[in-house]
Amino acid sequence: MSQSTLPARSEVPLQETWSLESVFATPDEWQVACQRLEALLPSLAAYQGRLKEGPQTLLAAVEKFEEIGILLGKVMVYAQNASAVDSFDQAANARAGQARSLGAKVGAAMAFLDPELMSLGFETLKAWIADYPELAFLSHYIDRLEKRSAHVRSGEVEQVLALAGDPFSGAFHAFNMLTNADLKFQPATASDGTQMEIGQASIGSLLSHPDRQVRRSAWQNYADAYLAFKNTSAAILTTAIKQDVFYARVRNYPSSLHAALEPNNVPVEVFHNLMAIFKQNLPTWHKYWRVRRKALGVETLGVYDIKAPLMGNKPLVPFEQAVEWICQAMAPLGEEYVGILRRGCLDERWVDRARNRGKREGAFSSGSYGTRPFIMMSYADDLFSLSTLAHELGHSMHSYYSRANQRFLYSRYGLFVAEVASNFNQAMVRDYLMRTQTDPVFQVALIEEAMSNYHRYFFIMPTLARFELEIHTRAEQGAPLNADILIGILADLFKEGYGDEVEFDRERIGITWAQFLHLYMNFYVYQYATGIAGAHALANGVINGRDPEAASRYLDFLKSGGSRYPLEALKQAGVDLTSPAPVESAFGVLAGLVDKLEALLSVS
Lowest mean pLDDT among 44-48, 62-66, 178-182, 236-240: 178-182
> Same domain for 71 and 174?
no
pLDDT at 362: 83
Instruction: Give the pLDDT band of residue 129 (cuts 50, 70, 90).
Output: very high
Residue 3 has pLDDT above 60, yes or no: no
Q: Residue 159 belongs to a domain with what CATH number?
A: 1.20.140.70
Q: Which residues contact 380 (CB under 8 A, 6 or more apart)?
A: 204, 205, 355
Which range, 304-318, 322-336, 357-371, has the best average confidence (pLDDT)? 322-336
pLDDT at 313: 80
What sign for the dihedral angle of Cα 29, 34, 39, 45? positive
Q: What percent of the chain has pLDDT over 70?
A: 99
pTM: 0.86
414 is a domain residue: no
> Same domain for 145 and 204?
no
Instruction: Give the pLDDT band of residue 533 (cuts 50, 70, 90).
Output: very high
> Same domain for 196 and 217?
yes
Instruction: Give the pLDDT band of residue 217 (cuts 50, 70, 90).
Output: very high
Q: Find out whether 77 and 21 touch, Cβ atoms under 8 Å.
A: no
d(CA 398, CA 412): 10
> Same domain for 85 and 32?
yes
What's the average model confidence in pLDDT over 154-167? 87
Buried b (16+ CB within 10 A) or exposed e, 108-133: bbbbbbbbbbbeeeeeebeebbeeee
Q: Find out whether 411 and 561 touch, Cβ atoms under 8 Å.
A: yes
pLDDT at 165: 85
Q: Find out whether 533 and 582 touch, Cβ atoms under 8 Å.
A: yes
What's the average model confidence in pLDDT over 260-284? 95
Instruction: Give the pLDDT band of residue 168 (cuts 50, 70, 90).
Output: confident
pLDDT tens-digit readout, 394-405: 999 999 999 999
Instruction: Give the pLDDT band of residue 106 (cuts 50, 70, 90).
Output: very high
Residue 466 has pLDDT above 90, yes or no: yes
pLDDT tens-digit readout, 336-349: 999 999 999 999 99
Residue 320 has pLDDT above 90, yes or no: yes
497 is a domain residue: no
From the candidates 116, 158, 392, 598, give the one annotated as an active-site residue: 392
Q: Give the total number of structural domains in the chain.
A: 2
Residue 2 has pLDDT above 60, yes or no: no
> Same domain for 108 and 57?
yes
Q: What percent of the chain has pLDDT over 90?
A: 87
Residue 265 has pLDDT above 50, yes or no: yes
37 is a domain residue: yes
Residue 385 has pLDDT above 50, yes or no: yes
What's the average model confidence in pLDDT over 202-216? 93
What's the average model confidence in pLDDT over 212-235? 98
364-366, strands of its sheet edge to edge: 351-352, 374-376, 364-366
Q: How many CB atoms lie within 10 A of CB 224?
A: 14
402 is a domain residue: no
> Same domain for 137 and 217?
no
Instruction: Give the pLDDT band of residue 134 (cuts 50, 70, 90).
Output: very high
What's the average model confidence in pLDDT over 73-79? 98
> Same domain for 224 and 83?
no
> Same domain for 190 and 114?
no
> Same domain for 176 and 160?
no
Q: How far is CA 327 from CA 199, 211, 250, 344, 389, in A?
A: 31, 33, 47, 11, 12
The range of the structural domain enclosing residue 16 comes to: 3-168
Instruction: Give the pLDDT band of residue 4 (cuts 50, 70, 90).
Output: low
pLDDT tens-digit readout, 234-251: 999 999 999 999 999 999
pLDDT at 264: 87
Domain final residue pick, 182, 212, 228: 228
Q: Find out whether 514 and 230 touch, Cβ atoms under 8 Å.
A: yes
pLDDT at 604: 58
> Same domain for 41 and 178?
no
201 is a domain residue: yes
Domain final residue pick, 212, 228, 244: 228
pLDDT at 92: 96
Q: Residue 220 belongs to a domain with what CATH number?
A: 1.10.287.830
Q: What end-to-end distance do the CA atoms of the chain give, in Å?
A: 41
27 is a domain residue: yes
What's the average model confidence in pLDDT over 558-568? 96
Q: Which residues contact 451 (CB under 8 A, 6 or more apart)?
A: 288, 590, 593, 594, 597
DSSP track, 280-307 = HTHHHHHHHHHHHHHHHT-SSB-GGGTT
Residue 197 has pLDDT above 80, yes or no: yes
Q: What is the mean pLDDT of the chain?
A: 94
pLDDT tens-digit readout, 443-453: 999 999 999 98
496 is catalytic: no
What's the average model confidence in pLDDT over 178-200? 93
499 is a domain residue: no
Instruction: Give the pLDDT band of residue 1 (cuts 50, 70, 90).
Output: very low
pLDDT at 167: 86
Domain final residue pick, 139, 168, 197: 168
9 is a domain residue: yes
Residue 180 has pLDDT above 90, yes or no: no
> Same domain for 38 and 153?
yes
Q: Find out whether 204 and 359 touch, Cβ atoms under 8 Å.
A: no
> Same domain for 21 and 51?
yes
pLDDT at 284: 97
